[in-house]
Structure 1
Amino acid sequence: MKIHIQSKTYPAVGKAAVKAAIADFALDLNAGEFVCLVGPSGCGKTTLLNILAGLDKDYQGEIGGGQPPKIGYVFQNPRLLPWRTVRENIELVLAEATPASTVDALLDAMQLTSVQQVYPERLSLGMSRRVAIIRAFAVNPDLLLMDEPFVSLDAPTARQVRELLMQLWQQRPHRVLFVTHDLREAIALADKLVFLSASPMTVVRTLTVPIARNKRNDEAAVEAFRQQLKQDYPDINVLL
């Protein structure tokens, strides 16, 4: 899947000039590839995801080169409907003929079977984020967008949800575009790291992660690679 956003601008407001948010952003996503976008706050990462999701059509560029891809989107806020149970929030995005076993398997993978009839107000933030991840996976997307889905979670909860996400992704590999400010998190998750400039956003550097998947829980290995990146590519330090 090829993504090329030539230009995204915001109109002038009052005396403020036209703001360029994205400039000549180009990225290729392979099937089943997990890509993390790393860049400074406010550089345009969420804007990019909204464009890819079809929520913002005011841009110049091309996505995919053919039929619009089917998108799954995990927002920073879980955005669960409070009047629907966990299971009903997931079923909302599915066709009526979808077998119940599809939802059962996803709930089991995210360890949420026991709360499937619970309403969102009774869930912890970590559980709510897991429901949002299931809902995005349930549509079997061509591209899964994840906008800092573990923000505001404490470290142990974030690690647990991250590990469950990886187990689910390995069972159902999709193209994933994952936004994070945390380089350790990016290294633990990604096949490929894409470092982004400040606004107007463009790609500064793309690097692969050589750590084997079964070693990603080794915090020492992740930290060693993070330090190596910062030493070998000092230009990324200002982007973190």
Structure 2
Amino acid sequence: MSDIQIEIRQKLYPAVGQAASHAAIQDFKLTLHAGEFVCLVGPSGCGKTTLLNIVAALDQDYDGEIRVARQQAQPKIGYIFQNPRLLPWRTVRQNIELVLQGRDAGETVDFLLETMQLTRFQHVYPERLSLGMSRRVAIIRAFAIDPELLLMDEPFVSLDPPTARQVRELLLELWRKRPHTVLFVTHDLREAIALADRLIFLSPSPMSIVGDIRVPIPRDLRRDENEIEAFRRQLLDGAPHIKQLL
């Protein structure tokens, strides 16, 4: 794995009914270190999903570049959207194997299904899955391609707290077994603290970085909600400008 450098000098949207364009992102620079789990936290509508779409090369109308350190190539991307986007006419296993494009990766799929506790559901169709299970399938599908960078756009949104906690812990278990560089979007600061090596706080549009903070809590203590809440309070008490963004 190599560091990934993101530089977006400007991302413009046409202003409806006006001559001037609207700057969605301005002077954004971020380096993701190899194997690092980074959470983006910012107000609704600040441009977090726009940023992920640019990094994933789904939006190429911007001034800037995304590159792997010491290379000019676009990194290989895995993308987990808010909606699991499973094909309803394919089983769980078939949905995963689809992204492998015919490659024989049976052992890899077996390992991923077992880690995410879905082995016994591998031949089930998506309509029989709960939302939490569907999200787990989407996570497996993204890990299966062994990406250089894994993008996650609020993948646990709309899950009830116990289910979100379960899927989050399974994600971390999988990430520890198969380390990838992760860029994770969330509106939930507690969730970000539980997951991240670093927290990147974002301003309202035009989006820029207003805080880059490392999470000091050892990973073996991240299940302790008191540890998470203590750091959250310390963070917000010491950075009033960040508190105003949440």
TM-score tier (shorter): over 0.9
Corresponding residue of 1:219: 225
Aligned equivalent of 1:4: 7
User: Is 1:233 aligned to 2:226, yes or no?
Assistant: no
- How far has the Cα of 1:97 moved from its partner? 2.7
SS in 2 for 1:68: coil
* TM-aligned CA deviation for residue 130 of structure 1: 0.3
What amino acid maps onto 2:84 in structure 1?
P
Q: Which amino acid aligns with 2:217?
A: I
1:52 aligned partner, one-letter code: V
Secondary structure of 1:25's partner?
A: strand
Aligned to 1:129: 135
Structure 2 partner of 1:76 = 82
TM-score by length of 1: 0.98
Q: Give 4+ residue runs of structure 1 displaced > 6 Å after superposition.
A: none
- Judged with a 3 Å threshold, the aligned counterparts in structure 2 of structure 1 residues 212 and 17 are, in CA distance, closer, same or farther, namely same
Q: For the residues of structure 2 that align with 1:49 and 1:121, how far apart are their CA atoms? A: 28
Residues 1:98 and 2:104 are matched in the alignment: yes
The answer to whether structure 1 residue 23 and structure 2 residue 26 are counterparts is yes
AA at the equivalent of 1:12: A
1:42 is aligned to 45
Structure 2: which amino acid aligns with 1:177? L
| Offset at residue 19 of structure 1 (A) | 1.5
Count of aligned pairs: 240
Mapping 1:169-208, distance limit 5 Å: 169-208=175-214
Q: CA–CA distance in 2 between the matches of 1:70 and 1:129?
A: 21
* Amino acid across the alignment from 2:131: L
- Give the aligned CA root-mean-square deviation in angstroms: 0.9
Partner of 2:244, secondary structure, is: helix
**Deviation string, structure 1 residues 81-123 (Cα, Å, up to 9, x no partner):** 1111100000010032323111000000000001101111110
Q: Specify the SS of the correspondent of 1:239.
A: coil
Letter in 2 for 1:27: L
Query: Cα deviation per residue 1:25-48 (whole Å; 9 max; x = unaligned)?
Result: 110100000000000000000000
Does the alignment pair 1:59 with 2:62?
yes
Amino acid in structure 2 at the alignment position of 1:18: S
Deviations, residues 111-151 of structure 1 (Å, cap 9, x unaligned): 00011011111100000000000000101000000000000
Matched, 1:146 2:149: no
Aligned with 1:13: secondary structure? coil
Q: Distance in 2 between matches of 1:75 and 1:12?
A: 27
Distance 1:226 1:13 in 2: 39
TM-score between both structures, scaled by the size of structure 2: 0.96
Gaps of 5+ in 2: none
Alpha-carbon distance in structure 1 between the residues aligned to 2:13 and 2:115: 41
Q: Please, which runs of 5 or more residues in structure 1 have no aligned partner?
A: none
* 2:199 matches 1:209: no
